[in-house]
Amino acid sequence: MPPLRPSVPILLFCFAVALTSGATTYKSGRNRATFPSDVALTTAYKVAQLDRKSCLAELDRRQIAYELQPEAPGVKTPVRLKGQLGEVRFITAASAADRENSPYEILDCRLVVALNEWKQVLVAHGVSDVIFSSGWRPMPKAPSDGTEAKRHSGALALDVHAFRLKSGGELVVERDFHGHVDAPVCGPDAAPPTPSTPEARELRSIICSSAELRIFQSILTPNYDAHHANHFHLEVTPNVRWFILS
């Protein structure tokens, strides 16, 4: 598989981000789905279509340290990161001992590839650690036929609560985002955070820059609904031709 390289530069701060050119957009309440005509060329689409063999080969090509997990019902290619992605560490807030066996740190291989692409945005913003609550969430009753699940049940989504910075600071989504439910996050209709603190602007910049690169099919913020008040939901979704930013 050829290198997955973004076709647009990282923007350090951009409210006027345009997710696609010439795309059809459907808006209804919290849902803002965009259907780009060039979806097959996006990083998100290419990553989401990787099969198990190709995905693991991509991790090896990128020299990503990982451990293949023997079993995680619903997850197509379960892996556990065994080191940083470049300069950025992705961890839960659990102790080091608990993290070793935590199901929440199991990620599908495709999500790891997407996170490896995302690190360029994080490095540009001085992020050293991404603190998340869950990747995989085991289903109460997993399918017995090996069916691949979606979102957290398939370890294809990450709920990010905070970013630790190389400067020693921290950006906490619940404390610092300052958004409003149903309000656009990026683009010409997006209003600045209220209050517009440096931390709030930095978080908005991270999200808008990430959306522009089209690494994830779905990015949900506290503007989506009350259930997302304390985290960003970042998701890889196979076999779809849309993007959601809300």
Low-confidence ranges of the chain (pLDDT < 50): 1-29
Other residues' Cβ atoms within 10 Å of the Cβ of residue 6 = 15
Instruction: Please compute Rg for the chain using Cα positions.
Output: 17
3-state secondary structure of 67: strand
Q: What is the pLDDT of residues 103-152, one digit of tens each?
A: 899 999 999 999 999 999 999 999 999 999 988 988 776 665 567 888 99
Pairing status of strand 31-35 against strand 243-245: antiparallel
Asked if residues 126 and 52 have their Cβ atoms less than 8 Å apart, the reply is no
Half-sphere exposure of 166 (CA within 13 A, CB side): 9
> What residue ranges do the domains of the chain occupy?
25-140+149-245
Q: Which residues pair with 31 in a beta bridge?
A: 28
d(CA 83, CA 88): 9
The predicted pLDDT at position 149 comes to 83
The pLDDT value recorded for residue 8 is 31
In the beta sheet, which residues pair with residue 134?
159
* 56 within 8 A of 64, measured Cβ to Cβ: no
Between vectors from CA 52 to CA 46 and to CA 57, what angle results, nearest 5°? 80
